[in-house]
Every structure is written in C-alpha cells, then in structure tokens.
Amino acid sequence: MSDVPILETRGLGRRFGSLDAVSDVSFSVPAGQILGVIGPNGAGKSTFINLVTGHIKPSSGKVLIDGKDMTGQQPWTIARAGVARTFQIVKPFNGMTVRENIAVGILYEPRGTNRMAAALSAADEVLHEVGLDGSGDRMPGELSTADVRRLEFAKALASRPRLLLLDEVMAGLRPNEIGPSLDLIRSLKARGTTVIVVEHVMKAIVAVSDRVLVLAQGKVLMEGEPRAVLADPKVIEVYLGHRYAKRQKGNE
Amino acid sequence: MPTKASFSIASKSSRTLVASVFGVIALAMALALRSQLPGGELRAVSTIFMFIALSQAWNIIGGFTGYASFGQVVFFGMGGYFAAVVMLKYHFSFWLALPLSGCFAALFAILIGQPLLKLKGHYFAIATLGVAEGMREVVINIADLTGGGAGISVPIAGKFAKTEYLGDGGFYLLFLALAIFSLVIGTVVSRNKFGYGLRAIHQNEDAAAAVGINTVRSKVMAYALSAFMTGIVGASYVFQQVTIFPERLFDVEITVLMIMMVVIGGSGTVIGPLLGALSLQFVSEYLREHFTNVHTFILAGIIILAVILIPQGAVNYLREGIRTKDFSLLTNIRRYRL
C-alpha cells in the first residue's frame, strides 16, 4: 500500500453568509482505516461530508482523494473516483423497487455492468449484506424506518466504493439493530474499504473506529484514539457544557 | 435471493413477449385499416398516430426525467419551420429535411437546456413556456426567412418539389412509422441504463449525483432526445399541411395535449402515454360527433375527474392496484392528495 492517504483535506472551509459552517479543517485518512467523526448538533459534520463529496463547493481549502486535487469537482466525478456516501436525511428513489434502487448504483459504477438484468441480480448480494433479503420487490415507502436506513446504506455500497462516508446510518435504530450495522462496517474494513462514520451513537463510534475526529463549531477540536478522545474534558465540555465537565473533574 | 431475481427477469421477458404479440396485431390492424378507411378518417387516425409520437417524446423529459416542459411545442414548430425553409429555399427532399429538422430541434434543446434545466418544477415549466411563446414571435418577425405571419408553403408540385406529396395514405404510413419509432425509443429508454438514470434524477437528483450519474449531461441528453422526436413530427406535420402559420405551429394547445395524454395515461411508462393518446383522441372525436355544442365542456369534465381520481395516471394506478390488491379510488385520492 502506498503512503498517500485516500482522503486528505487542507484548510477546508465553507461559509454560509456570516456563518462559518466548517472552517480550516485539515486531516487525512490512510486507506483501510475507520475514522469516526463526532460533534454536537451544528458542529458541521454533514457540511463536512457534503464538502468532501462535492455536494457543496468549499469556500476555502482543498480536498485530495488519493493525493489528487478534487476540490470543487461535481458529485458524480467524485463518486466515480470510488467515493460513496449516505445522506442523513435518507434519499431513496421512491418510484423504484428496493432492488432497482441498488441496481442504479451498480449501473453507474465505472467498472460495473451496463446491463440492467445483470445489475438487478448483483443487487441481491448487496441487499443480503445489509440484511434486506426478501425486500427486493418492495417499494421504499413500504419499509420500516430502520429498513429505509439499511437501504440508504445499501445504495452507497452498490458502487463498491473504496471510501465510504456514512452520515448517521444508525440514527433511529434500536440498540439490538446497531450490532449488525457495526459488523457490516467491520467487514467492509476487512475488505479494504476506508470508512468515515459520522454518528451520534457514541458506543458505536468507540466500537468500530480506529481513530476519532471531534468537530465543534466547524473546527477540529481534537483527533485521536477513540477512548482517549471521549474521556477528554474538552470533548465532554462541548457535548455537555462546561459546568458538567467541571463537576466531572471535581469527582475525580 | 437468486430465485426471486430470475423470476422477475423471466416475468419481464414474458411481458415483452405479450407486448410484442399485441404490437404485431396492432400493426397488422393499422396497415389493414389503411385500405378500408375513407380519406377523412385516414387523416383522423394519422392525427392519433402523431399524438402517440408526441406524447412519447414529451414523456422522455416530462415523465421519466420529471422536468415538465410546458414549451415542448417550440421543438414541433422549429422542426416544422426548419423543414419548410430548407424544402422551399434550398430544395431539400423531405426525406433529408426530416432527420435534419430533428437534429435542429435537438441542437436548440441542448443550447437552451444548459441554463433552463438548472431550474426546477414550476420555474422550469414557466421558462420553457416563455421560450415557446418568444420563438413564435421571432418566427413572425423574421419574415424574409419564414414568411412571417402570412405563413409559408412547402413545394409539393413542380420542379422544386423534390419529394412528391404523400397523400392521405402516404401520410398515414409516415405517422404510423413515427408512432412506432417513438414507442421503440420509449421502450428502450425505459429499460436501459440511461432511462434508469433519468428516473433516479426524477426521484432524487442529489442521490442520483451521489451514485455517479452526471445529472447535467443526462438531463440535457433527455431534453435533446425529446426535442428530436418532437421535431421530426413537426416536420412531417408541415409537409402534410403544406401551408403553415406560426400561430398553428407554436400553438400552446399542442403542448397541453401532449401533457394531458401523458398525465392521464401514466407518466414515466411507455404504455401510459400510448393509452392516453388513444383514449383522449377517441373520446374527443366521439364527443365532437355526438355532442357538437358542448363537446369541449364534457371533455374538460372528464379530464378534471380523471386527474382528481387517478392523479398518477391510469397505468400507474392499475400497477399499484395489482401490487397492493386495492383498487379503491378513495384510497388512491388519499395517497396522492395534493
């Protein structure tokens, strides 16, 4: 494996009017790692994913994929470079069956098939991976909330990405449903996929991440090994307020 | 589950078989009718074929892609005028003018599509309507080329007439061929990668871009294809009518009819616009004959009822009904309540 990180950002920033939604975010992910990204509401996590995948153009800084400058590229160009994502607010193709939802991603993957019939049968494998076997002929509108999240996950997996950005795929899942999702992320890592997991469920982050990045008010607050980061007073402070952090310190 | 997948693929190919059998029977009937019908009725049936082709064309951009083009008639008019001008001034044969007129319309679609397809929903609809209305005025004002408001005539006799007038029977075959061509294009698009990309764009443009679909290029290509299909119909219509006027060739009513046929039949399907075109033309002809004074009034009533009761169109309503085993119109209204 080369030393070039699969994803690197340099001073990445985006301004919305007078608000710096993301500012000066610099970090890199080596290929094959799982990076957890946490931060309180409004920290800029989703904006960060949108910047990396081209859905929002940055106001400053650079995005490098495999060392190549992809700043300001269109979402489909970035997708074809092997980067897939999910959306926090799920975006299924509502007029297609679940199987067709996946097949579209397979068709438009550069190395994939151009034939719909082949894409449809390949879609079943992906459905099996996320635990949606047997739902292939249903419409997204008929699925449960948890299954719609699985579909969102499966749509991203359809293109067999090398870098996968997951925006809160576990939100709204019951605790017993989180386990399978974590297993899936681990199996992706085993396959060599780099995964960036944006999540509110701390237990999930600790369980799968090799490294954790904490965003607060659009900036990188800290970065490091999961348990150490979560125990850090600065992180506790941005999540729970400084008075709680102080009390924690007093108790020690 | 591989068994399920192969089952659904098998059912698709058996559906194709049924569709082709019906297609061959319909084609045989259409050809047989040609020698049976008197001239007036031949022209009426030709008009039905024309609207089958037009509604399929509109369905590509409005149905599959979800961009409701309210100015689609601009491609009809431009294709028609292009054919008239090159046949009259440059003595082109009709058979050369026909594909060129489609390309001319497609080129124009690529040009205006770049900015217009950035707009969504009502904004796109109004902008395209504006283009069509504006183009009519342009055609009226460049009278040197187009004949202006006084109209233009295609040469059908004499030494400058490269193609002999086709006559009722000939135009019947021409429009039948256009209808078949449009149905074939519609069927191919509905099943191939490009068509699935268009549907994905329709259903969620951000998600479509995220799976690698070049949404800008796909939309412009869909618009150009739709314009090509509309342009060649316009050129054929011009040849059939011989003398044409901007008011008729850029008549917004033609756009409205295309949209009505697609919406009532079921947009985003191939069979829907076909059924829509057939039923709307037949019903309107029937009403014209039997209720001469109030026929538009009754037709409007039927259209309003259809749109209220089955807003997704007949074909989509039937499909959902079969899938959910619930054909209740009340459930349907609730599901699609605006």
Q: Are residues A150 and A224 in the same domain?
A: no
Structure-token pair, residue A155: 């749509």
pLDDT at position A73 over 90: yes
Predicted local confidence at residue B82, as pLDDT? 97
Which residue in B has a C-alpha nearest to residue A165's C-alpha? B210
Whether chain A has a CB inside 8 Å of the CB on B2: the answer is yes
Q: Are residues A150 and A173 in the same domain?
A: no
pLDDT at position A69 over 50: yes
Domain finish residue from A138, A160, A182:
A160
Domain finish residue from A160, A175, A210:
A160
Instruction: Inspect the interface and report whether the beta carbons of B210 and A158 lie closer than 8 Å.
Output: no
Q: Are residues A63 and A1 in the same domain?
A: yes
Whether chain B has a CB inside 8 Å of the CB on A170: the answer is no
Q: Are residues A70 and A181 in the same domain?
A: yes
Q: Measured between beta carbons, which residues in chain A are less than 8 angstroms from residue B10?
A: none
Interface contacts A/B by beta carbons within 8 Å: 106
B17: exposed, middle or buried (Cβ count in 10 Å: 0-12, 13-18, 19+): exposed
Q: How far is B6 from chain A (nearest CA, A)?
A: 8
Average pLDDT over every residue of A32-43: 92
- Helical packing angle, B215-241 and B73-89, nearest 10°: 50
Q: Are residues A121 and A202 in the same domain?
A: no
Instruction: Inspect the interface and report whether the beta carbons of A107 and B210 lie closer than 8 Å.
Output: no
**Coil/strand/helix, residue A95:** coil
Q: Would strands A219-224 and A60-65 be described as parallel, antiparallel, or unpaired? A: unpaired
Whether chain B has a CB inside 8 Å of the CB on A157: the answer is no
pTM: 0.91
Q: Which helix (H) or strand (E) holds A14?
A: strand A7-16
Q: Are residues A24 and A39 in the same domain?
A: yes
Which residue in A has a C-alpha nearest to residue B196's C-alpha? A104
Q: Are residues A251 and A199 in the same domain?
A: yes
Parent domain of A233: 1-82+162-252
Q: Which helix (H) or strand (E) holds B336?
A: helix B329-336
Measured CA to CA, the distance from residue A126 to residue A129 in angstroms comes to 5
Instruction: Inspect the interface and report whether the beta carbons of B268 and A95 lie closer than 8 Å.
Output: yes
Q: What is the ipTM of this complex?
A: 0.91
Domain finish residue from A144, A160, A176:
A160
The amino acid that residue B15 corresponds to is: R
Kindly report the number of other CB atoms within 10 A of residue A118's CB atom.
Answer: 15
A8 closest CA partner among A43, A46, A52: A52
Q: Measured between beta carbons, which residues in chain B are less than 8 angstroms from residue A50?
A: none
- According to DSSP, residue B149 is labeled G
Predicted local confidence at residue A250, as pLDDT? 67
Predicted local confidence at residue B15, as pLDDT? 76
Q: Are residues A148 and A174 in the same domain?
A: no
The structural domains of chain B, with segments of one domain joined by +, span 36-252
Q: Which helix (H) or strand (E) holds A69?
A: strand A68-69
Q: Are residues A17 and A134 in the same domain?
A: no
Predicted local confidence at residue B16, as pLDDT? 77
Q: Are residues A64 and A176 in the same domain?
A: yes
Predicted local confidence at residue A128, as pLDDT? 94
Q: Measured between beta carbons, which residues in chain A are less than 8 angstroms from residue B209?
A: 54-55, 74-76, 79
Instruction: Inspect the interface and report whether the beta carbons of A116 and B192 lie closer than 8 Å.
Output: yes
Q: How many helices (H) and strands (E) does chain B have?
A: 16, 2
Predicted local confidence at residue B9, as pLDDT? 47
Domain count for chain A? 2
Instruction: Inspect the interface and report whether the beta carbons of A55 and B202 lie closer than 8 Å.
Output: no
Q: How far is A211 from chain B (nearest CA, A)?
A: 26
Q: Measured between beta carbons, which residues in chain A are less than 8 angstroms from residue B196?
A: 96, 100, 103-104, 107, 116
Q: Are residues A94 and A1 in the same domain?
A: no
- Are the C-beta atoms of residues B88 and B154 closer than 8 Å to each other? yes
Instruction: Inspect the interface and report whether the beta carbons of A120 and B209 lie closer than 8 Å.
Output: no
The amino acid that residue A69 corresponds to is: D
- Are the C-beta atoms of residues B261 and B277 closer than 8 Å to each other? yes
- Are the C-beta atoms of residues A109 and A160 closer than 8 Å to each other? yes
- Are the C-beta atoms of residues A221 and A39 closer than 8 Å to each other? yes
**Coil/strand/helix, residue A26:** strand
Place of tokens 């009718």: B33
Measured between CB atoms, which of A109, A120, A156 is closest to B5? Answer: A120
Q: Are residues A167 and A252 in the same domain?
A: yes
Chunked into runs of 10 residues, chain B (338 residues) has average pLDDT values of 43 76 89 86 93 97 95 97 95 96 98 95 95 96 93 86 89 96 96 96 96 96 98 97 95 94 93 94 88 88 88 89 85 76
Structure-token pair, residue A202: 């701390």
Q: What is the CATH number of the domain that holds A177?
A: 3.40.50.300
